[in-house]
Amino acid sequence: MIKWIMLFAGLTLSLLSPTALAATGILPAVTVSTGADGSTQYSVTMQILLLMTALSFIPAAVIMLTSFTRIIVVLSILRQAIGLQQAPSNQILIGISMFMTFFIMSPVFDKIYEQAVKPYIEQGMPIEQAFNTGKGPLKAFMLSQTRLTDLDTFIEISGYQNINEPEDAPMSVIIPAFITSELKTAFQIGFMLFVPFLVLDLVVASILMAMGMMMLSPMIVSLPFKIMLFVLVDGWSLVMGTLANSFGL
């Protein structure tokens, strides 16, 4: 991943005028050297450039490399199952998903901070070593939520032959396998949430049919009953607890 960040950083530099770089003194400061211990050392300007480039990937990383995908899909299916189109709104669902993601991922984020970010800031750990150390807890989390069948599928597609254990798989293979597993798990949870509301819709439709009220939409009649049922069983607490427990909390 560090290679991709450096690639985008290099492309950013290539778009700048050489004259402007020389005038501002940026070009001489963007250097990569090899330390006495053989480690790669980046100049401060290069580190800042890499950091700013990495910040552009944060939204995608938060959405696709954490629990966010499963939560937002389940909440969207739940809203559809109840029959509500705009309540809760997309902004509220995204906000709930974001804070639930912070709650679920907080142990992982704490490990990344203690093992990589803090040593990098306080002890001068090389940025490449900090990156490789920091991705360890995130990789372990993704592997714990990834099905082996999905991982094997992407390993086979990628053509890697020397992967004997899931931990040996590179992030380029783990990430799509993790996303696929998250979508599958989200739809399984969504199906279980959808069934009770579907049964209620069928019951209301059958009653209306027996009463000869053909022109009245069953969805209109069943909607208040579905909302009442969801509130009586403390649905939001159950859904949030189920989502948190699905990650092993």
pLDDT 10s digits, 183-239: 999 999 989 988 888 888 888 888 877 777 777 777 777 788 888 888 888 888 888
Residue-wise over 231-249: b if at least 16 C-beta within 10 A, else e? Answer: eeeebeeebbeebeebbee
64-77 residue pLDDT tens: 888 899 999 999 98
8 A C-beta contact, residue 97 and residue 75: yes
The first and second tokens of residue 148, run together, are: 């082996």
Instruction: Read off the pTM.
Output: 0.72
Quick: pLDDT tens for 143-170. 888 888 888 888 888 777 777 777 778 8
Residue 120 identity (one-letter amino acid)? Y
Residue 16 DSSP code:
S
Q: What is the average pLDDT across 53-64?
A: 75
Euclidean distance between CA atoms 32 and 128, whole angstroms: 12
Q: Kind and range of the H or E element at 40?
A: strand 40-42
Please check whether residue 120 is in contact with residue 142, taking contact to mean a CB–CB distance below 8 angstroms: no
Q: What are phi and psi of 83, to 5 degrees?
A: 105, 10
Q: Which of 204, 235, 200 is nearest to 218 (CA)?
A: 204
Judged against a pLDDT cut of 50, whether residue 24 lies above it is answered with no
What is the C-alpha to C-alpha distance for residues 118 and 130, in angstroms, rounded to an integer?
9
pLDDT score recorded for residue 181: 92
Per-residue pLDDT, 206? 83
Higher pLDDT, 93 or 129: 93
Residue 183 backbone dihedrals phi, psi, to 5 degrees: -65, -40
